[in-house]
A and B are shown apart, each in its own frame.
Chain A
């Protein structure tokens, strides 16, 4: 097997004076063209992990351990160098496209800015590039959408624009943080299909609390709980034979369709109770 694109070793992230551990000594690899799902509930540390890779943690976060991307150490990388990676080699697709997009700037210009920032040589032709990308992510009228402000777009169109922006520079690694949580089922299905198609040839991490969503895009999954990875493996195997009680609870509680209508639904608490929470 070729070297992994991303290699995380003993990553620990603490916040504040009390040194509370948000992420507690986790290790994982993401191979070339591989997509890893990270599943967990709010507060499990999954988003903090993604932000750490992206170098977007606030100043008061303390990061130890190692994050190697393409052989380069990212922990402790100066902001000046991080800025060259971010949006070019590593890109992120956020949950809420309305807050991830600048409300005062037309969508086409925002996408173009990402390209222009990293490819100063490419002075002409950026607009064409943007329109091509909008078309690729399934926007029907790219020119009209490029000249619109984010609030004039539907939720699905905004998420498509965000995907175009993330992929425009052909990043080696794409981080997706709950990219479909704010969408309805119909649009969610379309966006998942689009991601599945467009992430081809990229390495990716897909963070979500919903296993059914992760399974649409990833083959391998890591389950995070209280800052630790408690289980990791092929997603179909984990769904079929979950080992950790928390994972068992997560799967049982997601199978609403297997419970007789009106009967009590199994919950995670039936399988696992947090030690100190």
Chain B
């Protein structure tokens, strides 16, 4: 049983009144606990693919399945299970965290969702649960009453991770989770992600243009260019021995010390 599946899924946006295919018909299967990197440049369609997996954009044709259930056309009221099973960490915590909410409200919000409340399979947002969520990502319970602006960039991204994990999901999408952070704090956030993914046996889709972090965190990689998967396979095979010119260009452009 797969956790996520795209079957000939295509996404079309409208750009300046014209239809624009962001993702051409694509087949992807992600198994429970599997870690998959999705790499490509800006505008390649990698984020669109991730959003499709979470039901955040509808396919213009084809199907998107989660837990073997189609999520296409499902009304929001019937997506509660999906919202609890799948979470996302965004690139920039400055814009993904509401600046007017305290950490306790930010982290607890997924548990207050009306489609999740009182279902029994997710915890109640009690002070103990919220404190535990912050401590789990290396912050302290006394920070619950702080606002995002009182934190450093790395701490903010930890809050975003705590929020993504509090509903105890089985699938996590991390969209460029460290590229807005200083090199000096990236390692800590990546260590945290690695630990959480290991301990919870999460299926992970890591969207990034940084091949080094994909190599570090993922087993399999999909290379996306202009809405097509141009190459895929085991991380070491693809990145050490790229076959497609686009993969080659990405490998060549990666800087290291």
Residues of A within 8 A of B (CB): 41-42, 154-155, 183-189, 209-213, 215-216, 239, 249-251, 253-257, 259, 261-262, 264-269
The 10 closest A-B pairs by CB, nearest first: A212-B255, A253-B187, A265-B187, A189-B253, A267-B187, A184-B209, A256-B212, A268-B184, A185-B253, A41-B182
In the complex, B74 has a CB within 8 A of chain A: no
Asked whether, in the complex, the Cβ of A255 is within 8 Å of the Cβ of B153, the reply is: no
Contact of A256 with B188 at beta-carbon distance under 8 Å, contacts A184-B209, A186-B209, A262-B194 already known: no
Residues of B within 8 A of A (CB-CB), count: 33
The smallest C-beta distance from A67 to any residue of chain B, in angstroms, reads 26
Q: How many angstroms from the CA of A184 to the CA of B249 in the assembled complex? A: 12
Contact of B257 among A251, A261, A267 (CB under 8 A): A251
- Residue numbers in B under 8 Å from A253 (CB-CB): 183-184, 186-187
Given the contacts A185-B254, A187-B41, A210 and B183 also touching, CB distance less than 8 Å: yes
Extra inter-chain contacts (6) besides given A184-B209, A185-B210, A186-B41, CB under 8 Å: A188-B253, A249-B184, A253-B187, A256-B190, A261-B215, A267-B191
> In the bound complex, do residue B209 and residue A261 qualify as a contact, i.e. CB atoms below 8 Å apart?
no
Which of these, B210, B235, B254, contacts A261 with CB under 8 Å? B235
Are B42 and A183 in contact, with the CB atoms below 8 A?
Answer: yes
A184, A210, A266: residue with the most chain B Cβ atoms closer than 10 Å: A184
Determine chain A's interface SS by DSSP, over half rule: helix
B127 touches A (CB below 8 Å): no
Count of A-B contacts judged by CB separation below 8 Å:
98
A-chain residues with CB within 8 Å of residue B209 when the two chains form the complex: 184-186
**CA A187 to CA B210, docked complex, whole Å:** 12
Instruction: Give per-residue flags for B227-257: 1 if the beta carbon is below 8 A from chain A beta carbons, else 0.
Output: 0000000010000000000000110111111
Minimum CB–CB distance from B162 to chain A (whole Å) comes to: 19
B interface list, Cβ under 8 A from A: 41-43, 152-153, 182-188, 190-191, 194, 198, 209-213, 215-217, 235, 249-250, 252-257
A266 to B190, CA, bound (A): 10
Instruction: Establish whether residues A250 and B184, one from each chain, have CB atoms under 8 Å apart when the complex forms.
Output: yes
Are A257 and B42 interface neighbours, CB within 8 A? no
Chain B residues lying within 8 Å of A213, measured Cβ to Cβ, are 255
CB–CB A209/B43 < 8 A:
no
In angstroms, Cα B249 to Cα A249, docked, is 29
Give CA–CA (A110, B235) in the complex, Å. Answer: 45
- Are B257 and A239 in contact (CB-based, < 8 A)? yes
Whether B217 and A267, one on each chain, are in contact in the complex, defined by CB atoms closer than 8 angstroms, is no
Choose from B182, B190, B217 the contact partner of A209 (Cβ within 8 Å): B182
Cα of A129 to Cα of B237 in the assembled complex, Å: 48
Closest chain A CB from B134 CB (angstroms): 18
Q: Which residues of B contact A186 (CB under 8 A)?
A: 41, 209, 249-250, 253
Which single residue of chain B is at the shortest CB-CB distance from A213?
B255
